[in-house]
Structure 1
């Protein structure tokens, strides 16, 4: 069992927006969709689903960026670091970009999504892979399995 040593602190690249995480992640992910590739300038984005009650912006005011659509992507208004995402209609968790944490060394993706769009050379150590997103009915089992392994 992993010792989480909460709370965690984190922030954007310039430090104008700071975060505090006081609950362990429900799930960790790598997303291979082309949107994440373009927003992260990488082969995939890394995120941790943090329960909303365990997520707090402690400094600054993030702004919505990205596509301004169903998924609200929050950025630092100064350095434009993509910090977290709040999926539309789902208020139970926040998808934190794991590299926004001051110490993300513990992070390993448990699932990877949108492998149908992944770059051919991109690999992760994720335990579960999905061509798109996991079925909503599968999320409970995935979060329970992640909790047991973490």
Structure 2
């Protein structure tokens, strides 16, 4: 079970940009793609898909960084350059929050792991579902329903 007590607040490493989450995640993920490895300087990146109306920047002004293409918009603190969250064009109903930005990231666990085809051999997440690339689009609704059951909500 994963416990998401709400609301939760968080911020970047230096504290200049602060966020508030007032809705539980739709699903949680770990991404093993080489892009996320480079952006996070780690073996994978973590995400919590937060409904857009349950996410707010409450202090500071994040800036675009990382990929700046038409699909993904990665937001960073302009001072410490912490990668905080991502918005995906055409999918503006959720925000992919890096859950380690929360002041209390306890209760977070990735439910899905993606891009395992690019996974570093030692990287283990404990995710319930693994995909070599991304889940098929028609699988997301079922995965989100299963996630709610998995979290005990």
Shorter-chain TM range is: over 0.9
SS of the residue aligned with 1:79? coil
Contact 2:3/2:108 (8 A) holds in 1: no
Tell me, in whole angstroms, the C-alpha distance in 1 between the residues paired with 2:135 and 2:49.
Answer: 14
Residues of 1 paired with 2:42 and 2:89: CA distance? 24
Q: CA deviation at 1:52?
A: 0.3
2:30 is paired with a residue whose SS is strand
Q: TM-score, normalised by structure 1?
A: 0.97
1:140: which partner in 2?
141
Seen in structure 2, the aligned counterparts of structure 1 residues 99 and 33 have a Cα distance that, compared at 3 Å, is same
Q: How does 1:112-127 map to 2 (within 5 A)?
A: 112-127=113-128
Say whether 1:25 aligns with 2:25.
Answer: yes
User: In structure 1, how many angstroms separate the alpha carbons of the residues matched to 2:67 and 2:5?
Assistant: 35
Following superposition of structure 1 onto structure 2, how do residues 7-86 of structure 1 map, counting pairs within 5 Å?
Answer: 7-69=7-69, 70-86=71-87
Note the alpha carbon deviations across 1:42-77, whole angstroms, 9 max, x for none.
000011000000000000000000021121000000
Q: Under a length normalisation based on structure 2, what TM-score does the superposition of the two structures give?
A: 0.95
Distance 1:3 1:37, change over 3 A: closer
The answer to whether the aligner puts 1:99 opposite 2:100 as a matched pair is yes
Q: Distance in 2 between matches of 1:21 and 1:13?
A: 17
Structure 2, unpaired ranges of 5+: none
Q: CA RMSD in A?
A: 1.0
Q: Distance in 2 between matches of 1:108 and 1:4?
A: 11
* Structure 2: distance between partners of 1:2 and 1:124: 15
Quote the Cα distance in structure 1 between the aligned partners of 2:45 and 2:2. Answer: 23
In 1, Cα distance between the equivalents of 2:67 and 2:74?
8
